[in-house]
Structures are given as structure tokens and as C-alpha cells.
Amino acid sequence: MSDAESKSGSALAGFDRIQLSADDGEQIAARWIEILGAKSVRQDRLAGLNAKRLLLAIGNCHVEILQPDGAGAVQDHLASRRGGPFAAGLATADVDLLSRDLSSRDIGFHMETDQLFLDEQQLGIAGLRLVISAEANNEPTGRLRNLYEVTHLTGDAGESADRLADIFSLESSHFVPIRSDAYGYEGSLTLFHPDRLDRIEIIHPYDRTKTMGRYFDRFGASLYMCYGECDDLPGLREHLMALAPDDWTGPREGPLDGLFIHPKVLGGVMLGVSRTTFAWSWSGSPERIRNP
């Protein structure tokens, strides 16, 4: 058990990956490698999802690109939205211990390749799938330091956050309320530990005229995007200007605290990137921000 886990009692050690559905996994992997310096780790197959998997290392985390190998949840997801975020990946200090705890409370899951897979019916949280892996101390790879957040859109952010806290023994006093009139949403950042950014952002997009609200109208409760940190954000900006000049949003010159890489670049997932520590400005502890 990690020090942070022993202090908080949380079953979760952090956010450690994102799963994407794709009809051409090799093509999407090539873009993560080209744009963000991700590294190919291995290819295998997930029988429970009836999908081929291509595993990439990025930052100290992973991206799992899933390509359907027959009928199943991945094929259905791909057919419904042409690919994109399929499941959020979390880490735990002891997978076996967590599996026994879930079983004791009649929370279903599928276990494969030493990972736990939970769908929305098992979680009781509409539109959310999770893959849970053993905590690992990976050296950062590529242009990101980490991935620390996935955004989950829902019709009842409070109920979904409460359910997540109950399943994984999260301390809800660590959650940070969040609201944006500019983007038209409200909800909470479900910080797994008070001194780390790792979380699921569970939000309700109340303004259906905004991009997020229109997405929610079209797909319902679902994963929307993810976020990571970068130690050299100006360097990433220069790289994007050279390779994908029209496919990202952010200041083109001058000071830079964050940017967004558009979904079409990375296989249907929008990736927000903030300079290291800057996300604490909206995550409850602005005193943690370090100057660039």
C-alpha cells in the first residue's frame, strides 16, 4: 500500500490510463507517437471485450487503443460515435485486495491480464467504464509528464460522485466543486488524494448550446476528454505548430499555461494539457502552483 493510500483509506492510487476505441489502432497509435512522443509497448487481445489492444506509454501513464475483433462493447462503442474515450484507467496498490473487496459487496467485474474491468451496469454510474491496474512507478515517456484526469458527463453529477466515493472508499471532503459558465457545466473533481491531481471530473453540462452540452445531447452520459501535464508546454506548442497547426487551441505566442489538442488528432479524444502544477489553480490548492 502506498503512503498516500494508507493515509486516506482510498482504494485508488491514481489515474493511470485512458482506453480508446478505434477502427484502425495502428493509425491512431502513430499519431500519439508523432504528436506526443508516446512509445509502443505491446499488442495483445482482450477476450472479455472481444478486442485487439495496442498499448502505448505516455508520460508516466498508458493509452490503450482498442480495435474490435468481433461483436462486443468496443464494436458497439465504435459504431455509436466513430471512436474515442471508451474507459477511464485507474491504479490501485493491490488489485487482488480490491477484487476481493468488490466481490464481498456484490459489485461485479471482469478480470483479465491482471486488470479489473467494470462497466456502467456494474458500477451503477451511467456512461462510465473503468479499467483498474496495479500501481506502477513509471519513468515519464514523451512530451507529457502524466495523465491526471478524465471527464465524465452525466445528468446527475452529485449522485455519480457519491457512488464513485462509495465504491472506492474515496473521501468526499477532498472533492473540489467546479463550475464554468463559459463551457456550461458544473460538478466536482473527485480527487483521490488531497495532495495529487489524479481524479475523475464528474460534471453535468447544463448549457446545451455549448459544445459539451451538444455532445451530451447526442451521446448521453459518457466520457468526454482527458487532461495531462507537460513540463515544457512552449516546446509542445512549437511541435504542434509544425505538425498540426490547425488542430489545437491555445495562445500562439507569449505566456502559456494550457492548450487543447483536438479530437481528430488523437483518435477521437480531446486532450487538455496544462503546464506542470498549474491545474491546482482550479483544483483547490492554488498555493501548489510553481512558476514556470
Whichever domain contains 64, its CATH number is: 3.10.180.10
DSSP β-ladder status, 110-112 and 115-118: antiparallel
Which among 277, 216, 276, 272 is positioned nearest to 249, based on CA atoms? 272
DSSP 139: P
Span 144-152, mean pLDDT? 98
Q: How would you classify residue 165: left for phi > 0, otherwise alpha for psi between -120 and 50, otherwise beta? A: alpha
Q: Cell numbers of 261, please?
A: 489538442
Using CA atoms, how far apart are residues 132 and 111, in angstroms rounded to an integer? 9
Task: Give the Cβ contact number of residue 216 at 10 Å.
Answer: 25
* 7 pLDDT more than 50: no
Residues 184-240 pLDDT 10s: 999 999 999 999 999 999 999 999 999 999 999 999 999 999 999 999 999 999 999
**Domain total of the chain:** 1
Q: Is 139 exposed, middle or buried (0-12, 13-18, 19+ CB in 10 A)?
A: exposed
Q: Cell numbers of 234, please?
A: 512552449
Structural domain containing residue 82: 3-288
**What's residue 110's pLDDT?**
96
Distances 55 to 73, 148, 265 between C-alpha atoms, Å: 18, 18, 18
**What's residue 5's pLDDT?**
40
